[in-house]
Structure 1
């Protein structure tokens, strides 16, 4: 009679998996969290949780404003940045963590009114940089999110 290979109990396997999942993501140059490319809310929340210091609170605030403004928003992390989009329309906004600020990219920013202040090498993209002591004009941010979500987005 052949012997079965010994197998660890399922409980031990789930503990190992939980430890792996609990590992804190490493930070790339400039303090940007390294999160694996993935679709959905979970990787975006992992990115936000891994944002260092005050930036995590900014990330939570931006995420909540975007969800409230676009209830059917689609989320993903690509290129170590959370992306927000609308199904069948593409991505309209991205967030990226830098050493001293959080950058919000509106991919069709030149079509927004008023146009967001930060210029880009990309002719259509405009940025909003949020520093630690900056106040966020939530009404203006929500207006930009609403406008951006109604435009054709980026296909990435």
Structure 2
């Protein structure tokens, strides 16, 4: 795995392969904002927007960073959505995505999850994302 130092002064770690920041785990908005601050370029813009949309769509949302990924839940112990930065896209995991109608477009190896990939070239359909986030927040979350 290639590591490179990030140019962001707010970063507390390094960027791993694909540009995913290595941020210390923690609960609350502060670790998520540190994760976002450590991102660069279009990935930072996309993740900042995704975070704002989830926060607006699910006012009672709880946040954490675990496994170098922001997680979103409603009880602080289980999670309905996670974000992970890849080389060519931002992967949004809906941990119980097979129960969403319509389902997010990308298959998963895990039984219940589905993914949405957001790239620099493919704009985010915010209305669909908001609907999925709201619906996902009402489903049982994954313990991580």
What TM-score do the two structures reach when normalised by structure 2?
A: 0.90
Quote the offset at 1:25 in angstroms: 2.4
Quote the offset at 1:49 in angstroms: 1.1
Runs of 4+ with deviation above 4 angstroms: 21-24
Segments of structure 2 that go 5 or more residues without pairing to the other structure are 1-8
- Superposed counterparts of 1:103-122, under 5 Å: 103-122=91-110
After superposition, the C-alpha distances for 1:96-116 in whole angstroms (9 at most, x for unaligned) are 001111000000000001000
What TM-score do the two structures reach when normalised by structure 1?
A: 0.83
The alignment status of 1:132 with 2:132, answered yes or no, reads no
Structure 2 equivalent of residue 143 of structure 1: 131
Q: Which has the higher helix share?
A: 1
After superposition, the C-alpha distances for 1:99-150 in whole angstroms (9 at most, x for unaligned) are 1110000000000010000001001000000110111111100000010000
Structure 2 equivalent of residue 84 of structure 1: 72
Q: State the SS of the aligned residue for 2:109.
A: coil
Quote the offset at 1:88 in angstroms: 6.4
Structure 2 equivalent of residue 43 of structure 1: 31
The answer as to whether partners of 2:12 and 2:23 remain within 8 angstroms in 1 is no
Q: What is the rounded CA distance, in whole Å, between the counterparts of 2:22 and 2:40 in structure 1?
A: 12
Segments of structure 1 that go 5 or more residues without pairing to the other structure are 1-20
Aligned length: 136
After superposition, the C-alpha distances for 1:83-106 in whole angstroms (9 at most, x for unaligned) are 000116720000000111100000
After superposition, the C-alpha distances for 1:12-51 in whole angstroms (9 at most, x for unaligned) are xxxxxxxxx9555210111110001100100000101111
The answer as to whether partners of 2:20 and 2:85 remain within 8 angstroms in 1 is yes
Q: CA RMSD in A?
A: 1.4
